[in-house]
Amino acid sequence: MSQTPMMTERATVQPQLREVPAVRMEAVYKHYGDFTALNEIDLKVAKGEKIVVCGPSGSGKSTLIRCINHIEKHDEGLIYVNGVELDYQRKNIDAVRRDTGMVFQSFNLFPHMTVLENCTLAPMTANGMSEAEAEDLAMHFLTKVRIPDQAEKYPGQLSGGQQQRVAIARALCMRPKIMLFDEPTSALDPEMVKEVLETMKKLAEEGMTMLCVTHEMGFAREVADRIVFMNEGKVVEQAAPEEFFKHPKSERARTFLDQIIH
Amino acid sequence: MSHFSLTAAVNYFFNYFLMKGVLVTIGLTVAAVVGGLILGMGIALLRMSSNPVLAGAARLYIWFFRGTPLLIQLVVIYSGLPQLGIKFSVITCALVGLILNEAAYLAEIVRSGFMAVSAGQREAAWALSLSPWVTFRRVTLPQAFRLMIPPLGNSINSLLKATSLASVISVEELMRRSDMLMQEHFQILEVYAAATAYYLILTSVWDAVQRRLEKHFGRSSVAKSRKVATAAPVTRASAEARA
Ligand SMILES: Nc1ncnc2c1ncn2[C@@H]1O[C@H](COP(=O)(O)OP(=O)(O)O)[C@@H](O)[C@H]1O
Ligand SMILES: [Mg+2]
């Protein structure tokens, strides 16, 4: 008698556990004064899923992904990251930030530290790793982004593409489960875009959950499981890449695609 | 005595009594810088706080001490406060005045240094789950400090010379002791030539220190320009020396 209820309980709990999405947003709003930057956002991202967020400038793409690691505070609605609710509790925010890595348009490397120090700072201070361990870890990821030979240089001595790859390595050193990219190639000279996109593709192939704000439609076609199109703070359309590019449902998405493809 | 005696000037330069005055000048400067930096950082933090009352109080402080002459501040502390029953020793009065005054200037320098560090640096630190302390100590402070060095250097240069105002409230620093020697021997040019030489030496030494600090902290080049950055190649050894 004591065994049966436990069995049924386990049976019902387990499938739910498996379904915990990487990111779940429910009716999320974000205001800047009178301006509504995010307007009732509902979004679910499954583990391992690759999402490309696109839309015109000012449509709220950056705000959306910055709310996911609480760099921007949402005003209303619910955000769960790997089942942890971003409810303004310090420990939850910290847990979410540990699960997410972020790559910025302007790299935001620490200019006064070497590439290696950029990569070891968080593992050593936030994870209590020893210097030797942290350096091994950093070299592992710097090798992965193919710049191990630049480890002793300062960010200012590297090209934009190299800096962005360091930024990716630095984020990976915290072993995040979700990677957030905010226009990672927009500040780069055209010849450097490819090396950064290649690095991101490699990450995608390894099963990383990714949310990328980008206008690189080739990357979107090749890597994305889903395109999220935003306009005026709303998610206007969500579709698989082929469908989105061939048959955009909204007029706004059609004009947007016309503008960026031509 | 219608000529300038170089020998007398040189003698005053090596005068033990005057040299001790130089030490007092150095001591006043160092104490005022240290005290001013600590107080100034506190005021800068208040000034940057989102609490309007605290920020307003800090602004009022800065406005007051930057808007009135140091000389009046010193005289009020030395001669005015005893009227209210508040009495300090001469040297304490000088230190309190110099620190209160210097803090107002340094607070603005500290604040502008921190404001010049881009928001992206803090955001990157948050995204990496760095604690607020590590973010401050390892990310914002070193970058802000680098930007603060030039104005900080200028402020300290001014302070070094401003300590001469303490002579008015009878602190026996370089200026006061020059006055005393002058009144004793009436060799005005000779005495002040020696004092001038000391001030020049002190400010020049400080200039050299400041240049070295700028070079040391500027090496890692916050500069966006790659030309500037690659002009200063960095070795493992120098990277370790900094740590
Ligand atoms: N800190 C802020 N204060 C006021 N308005 C902001 C702020 N950040 C963003 N906005 C506004 O919110 C809107 C959405 O911004 P953002 O998410 O950066 O757009 P996107 O990344 O799609 O270009 C823009 O109109 C922008 O002007
Ligand atoms: Mg943006």
Residue nearest to atom 18 of ligand 1 (CA): A62
Whether residue B234 lies within 8 A of chain A, CB to CB, comes out as yes
Closest chain B C-alpha to A96 CA, distance in angstroms:
9
A93 pLDDT higher than 90? yes
A8 pLDDT higher than 50? no
A3 pLDDT higher than 60? no
What's the pLDDT band for A131 if we cut at 50, 70, 90?
very high
Tell me, what's the pLDDT at A260?
A: 84
> Mind giving me the DSSP string for B43-108?
HHHHHHSS-HHHHHHHHHHHHHHHHS-HHHHHHIIIIIGGGGT----HHHHHHHHHHHHHHHHHHH
What's the pLDDT band for A12 if we cut at 50, 70, 90?
very low
Query: B26-44 pLDDT, tens per residue?
Result: 999 999 999 999 999 999 9
Reported pTM: 0.81
Tell me, what's the pLDDT at B220?
A: 55
Q: Which CATH superfamily is domain A23-259 in?
A: P-loop containing nucleotide triphosphate hydrolases (3.40.50.300)
Class of domain B17-224: mainly alpha
B240 pLDDT higher than 60? no
- The percent of residues in chain B predicted with pLDDT above 70, rounded, is 89
Of all ligands present, the nearest one to the C-alpha of A59 is: 1
**B72 C-alpha to center of ligand 2: Å?**
53
Q: Do A109 and B124 touch (CB under 8 A)?
A: yes
B241 pLDDT higher than 80? no
Domains of chain A, residue spans: 23-259
B84 pLDDT higher than 80? yes
What is the predicted ipTM? 0.89
A88 sits in the region (left: phi over 0; alpha: psi -120 to 50; else beta) called: left
Query: B107-143 pLDDT, tens per residue?
Result: 999 999 999 999 999 999 999 999 999 999 999 999 9
- The percent of residues in chain A predicted with pLDDT above 90, rounded, is 90
Tell me, what's the pLDDT at A262?
A: 65
Question: Do the Cβ atoms of A165 and A188 come closer than 8 Å?
Answer: no
Tell me, what's the pLDDT at B201?
A: 97
Q: Quick one: average pLDDT of A145-172?
A: 96
What's the pLDDT band for B219 if we cut at 50, 70, 90?
low
**Ligand 1 atom at minimum distance from A55 CA:** 22
Whether residue B230 lies within 8 A of chain A, CB to CB, comes out as yes
Q: Do A156 and B222 touch (CB under 8 A)?
A: yes
Q: Quick one: average pLDDT of B82-102?
A: 94
Q: Quick one: average pLDDT of B60-82?
A: 96
Q: Which of B114, B144, B126 is nearest to B222 (CA)?
A: B144
Q: Which residues contact A167 (CB under 8 A, 6 or more apart)?
A: A103, A104, A107, A108, A109, A184
A167 pLDDT higher than 90? yes
State the average pLDDT for chain A: 92
d(CA B57, CA A210): 47
Which sign, positive or negative, has the C-alpha torsion B60, B62, B68, B70?
A: positive
Tell me, what's the pLDDT at A62?
A: 97
Q: Quick one: average pLDDT of A231-259?
A: 94
Q: Do B139 and A174 touch (CB under 8 A)?
A: no
Q: Do B131 and A125 touch (CB under 8 A)?
A: yes
Instruction: Return the structure tokens found at B69.
Output: 């002459």
Q: Is A2 in the pocket of ligand 1 (CB under 6 A)?
A: no
What is the chain B residue with the closest CA to A112? B220
Domains of chain B, residue spans: 17-224
What is the CA A250 to chain-centroid distance, rounded? 25
The owner of tokens 């706080």 is B49
Q: Quick one: average pLDDT of B70-79?
A: 96
Query: A175-215 pLDDT, tens per residue?
Result: 999 999 999 999 999 999 999 999 999 999 999 999 999 99
